[in-house]
């Protein structure tokens, strides 16, 4: 009887030891995973934009060499959960991000009633240009390459700004209206990725029209089963993955080109 009891106790102790070893192993794996992630530092900033002041959030992973500026869509802001999700994915891949409001709080209040600013592409593009120039004046961002991520009408603003700044490394549009960029489309030199939901048929057509007008490298990626806001399970993950791969590929290409020529990252005008 005593021998059987000792055997049972030994078995229980063995199971506990195995569980403890497994828990320690999981803890170590999680710790290693956390240590492997880039060190993130997010700073709340303000951007002077003519007579306006725009609020934003700048995230700089350690060792980042590309900064992606987000241009949000109609009726949205820097707090867009979709853009924040994409930004976190970019950060985890070592890319810096700047999410900022294209409109002031007062303009947002007016726009919520009149919708008079959200389709003012000229104004939105000008605000993105101000933000781009601002990054060139900051010690911690002036050496970084620039990318644009635009959603809805913000995609048009991103393309208009990219036409102004030909050394923008890459542009990504999510459910965007690139057609609203108009005459700027043929002037865009940055490689551009247009991401549209498979069920967003009208926007697919508008993106195809814009694609035909562009002279730079441009790719249309359709996410099967997704609607305009990519709310379906896995749809936004797919957007984030596509955007991350696009920015990494083209920022690496820009970096390699600079190494061959000895050029500095960017020389955007400050006027």
Q: Which contiguous run of DSSP H or E holds residue 38?
A: none
**Predicted local distance difference test score (pLDDT) of residue 24:** 37
Task: State residue 97's pLDDT score.
Answer: 97
Q: Give the H/E segment covering residue 70.
A: strand 66-71
Looking at residue 256, its pLDDT comes to: 60
The secondary structure element, H or E, covering residue 71 is: strand 66-71
Q: Which two tokens stand for residue 241?
A: 């993955």
What span, in angstroms and rounded, lies between the C-alpha atoms of 149 and 160? 12
**Structure-token match 């005459």, residue found:** 183
What local confidence, expressed as pLDDT, does residue 260 receive?
53
* pLDDT score for 56: 95
262 three-class SS: coil
Q: Give the pair of three-digit tokens for residue 93.
A: 């891949």
Helix or strand (DSSP H, E) at 220:
strand 218-223
Average pLDDT of the chain is 84
Q: Do the strands 42-49 and 66-71 form a parallel or antiparallel pair, or are they unpaired?
A: unpaired
Low-confidence stretches of the chain (pLDDT < 70) are 1-40, 75, 253-271
Residue with tokens 């999510």: 174
Give backbone dihedrals phi and psi of 206, rounded to 5 degrees, phi first: -65, -35
| 104 strand-pairing partners | none
pLDDT of residue 34: 35
Contact 97, 126 (CB under 8 A): no
Residues 6+ positions from 52 with CB-CB distance below 8 Å: 104, 107, 127
The pLDDT value given to residue 255 = 60
Integer angstrom CA distances of residue 22 from 29, 142, 192, 234: 11, 47, 46, 30
**Tokens for 109?**
């209040």
């Amino acid at each position: 009887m005593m021998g059987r009891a000792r055997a049972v106790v030994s078995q229980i102790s063995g199971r506990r030891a195995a569980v403890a070893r497994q828990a320690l192993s999981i803890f170590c794996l999680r710790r290693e995973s956390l240590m492997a992630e880039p060190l993130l530092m997010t700073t709340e900033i303000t951007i002077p934009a003519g007579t306006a002041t725009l609020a934003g959030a700048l995230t700089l992973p350690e060792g980042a060499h590309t900064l992606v500026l987000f241009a949000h869509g109609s009726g949205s802001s820097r707090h867009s959960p979709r853009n924040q999700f994409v930004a976190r994915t970019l950060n985890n891949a070592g890319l810096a991000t700047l999410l900022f409001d294209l409109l002031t709080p007062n303009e947002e209040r007016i726009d919520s009633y009149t919708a008079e600013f959200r389709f003012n592409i000229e104004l939105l593009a000008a605000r993105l240009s101000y933000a781009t120039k601002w990054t060139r004046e900051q010690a911690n961002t002036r050496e970084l390459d620039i990318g644009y991520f635009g959603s809805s009408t913000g995609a048009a603003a991103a393309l208009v700004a990219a036409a102004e700044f030909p050394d923008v490394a890459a542009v990504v549009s999510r459910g965007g209206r690139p057609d609203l960029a108009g005459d700027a489309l043929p002037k865009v030199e940055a490689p551009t990725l247009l991401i549209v939901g498979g069920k967003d048929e009208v926007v697919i057509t508008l993106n195809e029209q814009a694609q035909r007008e562009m002279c730079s490298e441009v790719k249309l990626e359709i996410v099967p089963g997704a609607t305009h806001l990519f709310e379906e399970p896995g749809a936004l993950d797919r957007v984030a993955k596509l955007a991350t791969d696009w920015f990494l590929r083209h920022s690496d290409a820009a970096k390699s080109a600079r190494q061959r020529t000895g050029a500095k990252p960017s020389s955007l005008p400050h006027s």
